[in-house]
Structure 1
């Protein structure tokens, strides 16, 4: 859990007295802010707000914690500013990539940035929502994110599709079927990134399976390493950009390739910033679509 990020939500809601206005002040939509505050309350074991149709009011516990939260958020901002200053002095390109991408695509991007002239490459791997926020705040120069996403105020490059495959337990019937069918996945849970990593893309992904008569239980999985472990343990399927390879306990199947392809795009603060880095990443993404 990103505590500072959730504390930032808490402070914004306390100052605005309303989730919608707090989200607008943060340059976000309301659902991730509401979810973030709920997760913070669950972590603390305390209710921070009393909610009503007119807005929200701090509980006694929330009022007592708010000054400390403000200090932590301000200290984190100063820390980021200092780290950014040090990074810029070293001439590093600060970029991020969404958690849903394969290690192969990640390292190819790093290599392309280096060959494109970057003196240093500082890489952040994270949820699309977090990467967008960091680009908007200046903590990252640019990022490769999953599309669709809320990118208000940022310059967005073209959408590029990268192949994904369905992975299932090696001993499951779907792995042995001559022709893969969605119905063979019934009974398996779906291991995928949590919704707050990128709500628009998550909802489209869920709808894709529902449209085909599959509404699986969701098991949260943060990246391919966790995904492969859950699938190999049995009971789950998932999708991955990692090309088919020999991993014990896992089988790759081709299913709905056009629909499950990962849609990516590059975001940066303006069209005129970091052109060389954006072109370097574009070359890798365009090559990745041919895997």
Structure 2
């Protein structure tokens, strides 16, 4: 039997809690899914799921075996991704960048990686946590991620600081102040990207704000564009790599530029032959650094 395929049936049924929804997720009909799970149960000699009118409920054995099944399914997907990467490695550079990287730096890095006419550059923009996982698994050759971050299983280059600004509502008192200070923002909520994207960097930013007299909770926004909209609406402030420009309802402040600068670095898998690609991106980051 195709063990991985049938384990994927089990994992999907467990996650959906319903055979019909699991079948839809797997793009198949319910009868072959149910039959496949039954064959898996017969193969291992124990029931994994109780079939009820309300849906699917894990047995004690199913609960115990689900984490291992997930690992096997995930590892098989990583194996296929790595095999595809190796088979197409010549002429293809797969790289990633944190979503906090400014557009101008993102595009400059992508252009720098296309060193030869026949080289194809594939770019992924995501959170630091997801990018480190992608590099570690081989789905990305290298990536620009935030610092600090948990970098287990990858190698990392030097840290570079990219300029950031505090953005506030244009009508806010800090935008009119001759010498604005962080405590002036105490009546606003901090619009920040989710902590799950990189807990270490998120917590570091919160510490920087507290050190400067601003101890407030963050309001989660999915991306910089949403943060700009939240600021323009008048109830939030943010920290952005977007340089000062004319945006209705938004003003840019230069506050503690060195402290709030975005710290980034290049990461890659140990043993990966990416030296020239790392060097190309490092040159771009060096040009963009805080002077």
Look up the match of 2:89: 88
TM-score normalized with structure 2 length: 0.73
Shift, 1:228, TM fit: 1.1
Distance, in Å, in 1 between the alignment partners of 2:116 and 2:245 is: 30
Distance 1:120 1:199, change over 3 A: same
Distance, in Å, in 2 between the alignment partners of 1:186 and 1:174 is: 10
In structure 2, runs of 5+ residues without a counterpart are 1-7, 16-57
Structure 2 matches for 1:2-151, cutoff 5 A? Answer: 63=63, 66=66, 70=70, 73=74, 76-77=77-78, 80-81=81-82, 83-85=84-86, 87-88=88-89, 91-115=91-115, 119-151=119-151
CA contact (8 A) 1:191 1:227 kept: yes
Distance 1:152 1:250, change over 3 A: same
When the two structures are aligned, how many residues end up with a matched partner?
A: 238
Shift, 1:265, TM fit: 0.6
Distance, in Å, in 1 between the alignment partners of 2:238 and 2:59 is: 41
Look up the match of 1:274: 274
The structure with the larger Rg is 2
Shift, 1:263, TM fit: 0.7
Look up the match of 2:176: 176
Shift, 1:273, TM fit: 2.2
TM-score normalized with structure 1 length: 0.73
Q: Deviations over 1:153-196 (max 9, x none)?
A: 32211111111100111121111111111111111111112111
Structure 2 matches for 1:149-228, cutoff 5 A? Answer: 149-228=149-228
Shift, 1:105, TM fit: 1.0
